[in-house]
Amino acid sequence: MTQTAPIPVTVVGASGRMGRMLIEAVRENPAVVLTGATERPGHPWIGRDLGEALGGAPMGVTVEDDPLEAFARSRAVLDFTAPAATLAHAALAAQARCVHVIGTTGFGDEDLARLSAAARHAVIVRAGNMSLGVNLLTMLTRKVAKALDESFDIEILEMHHNRKVDAPSGTALMLGEAAAEGRGTTLAEAAERARDGMCGPRKPGAIGFASLRGGDVVGEHEVIFAGAGERIVLRHVATDRMLFARGAVRAAIWGQDRKPGEYDMLDVLGLERD
C-alpha cells in the first residue's frame, strides 16, 4: 500500500477565533501537517512557539510575521483574516504555488477583482461559508427563488457574535447571490442592504438584508420568502466554528494539483450549481 506524505499547511492569523480552530482542524487530520503559522506584524505571539502561545505544550512551529517564508515551506494556506491581509496573501501564495483557501469576508468589488486576477496563476478556493449545510442551503435558495415569482418578497436575515466587523455576512451575500440567480437577476441589481427612516414601501423584486449582532452567536441565517398569506423560511444554524475549519482543510486537500482558477465550496463538496 502506498502512503502519501501529509500536505504541509500554513495557518495565517493563527491567534484569531478561526485561526485557533484551523490549527485544531489541521492537527486532527492526518492528511495535512502544520508547517507555518503567522500573525500580523507587532502581534505579541510573533517569535513564540505556537503551542506555548496557545497555552499548551510546544508544537515546534514558531509564529512568524513573514508570510512568504511560511508559504515557501507549504502547499496550502488557510486564510480567515481580514480583506487587506488576504489580498496581500493572495499574491504571495501564488508566488509560492500554494493552494489559497480563503474564508475571509467583507471584500469590496475591487478586492474581488484582484482575487480573480490572482487566480489566473493560482488555485484559490473562496467561500463566505465553508459548511456543508450552508452550501446546501444556497442550492435550495436558488431552487425556491426560481420556483416563485416576484409576489414572494425575499428577505435575508443573519445574526452573528458581537465581534464581527462586516455586514451583511459573507454567508448572507452568498444566499443573496443564489436567490438573485434563481430570479434571473444579479445581486447588484436587486440588493436592498439598509433601511432606515422614511424609506418608502418595499421595491418589488428586491432582495432585502438585515444584520443582527450580539453575544457569542456563531452564525445564523434565514432566507424568507414572504407571500400573501404564507411564508417559506429556509434556516441554517451553526453552533461550532470547527465546522468552517474542517471545510477549509477539506478545500486545501481538494485543491492540490488542480488547474489555476477560482473555486468555491460547491466545487469542493461536489454539489450541483442548479
| 171-230 residues near ligand NAD, rule: CB under 6 A | none
Instruction: Examine residue 106 and tell whether it contacts ligand NAD (CB under 6 A).
Output: yes
Query: Of 6, 31, 33, 40, which lies in the binding site for ligand NAD, with binding defined by CB under 6 A?
Result: 40
Is 164 annotated as catalytic?
yes
- Ramachandran quadrant class, 47 (left: phi over 0; alpha: psi -120 to 50; beta: rest): left
What is the binding site for ligand LLHOTIJI (CB under 6 A)? 105, 128-129, 160, 164, 169-171, 219
* Partner touching 114 among ligand LLHOTIJI, ligand NAD, none, CB below 5 to 8 Å by kind: none
CB of 129 to ligand LLHOTIJI, least distance (A): 5
Instruction: Examine residue 158 and tell whether it contacts ligand NAD (CB under 6 A).
Output: no
Is 146 annotated as catalytic?
no
CB of 185 to ligand NAD, least distance (A): 25
Enumerate binding residues for ligand NAD (CB under 6 A): 12-13, 15-19, 38-40, 43, 80-82, 85, 103-106, 127-130, 166, 170, 244
Query: What residues are annotated to the active site?
Result: 160, 164
Binding site listing for (S)-2,3,4,5-tetrahydrodipicolinate: 161, 170-171
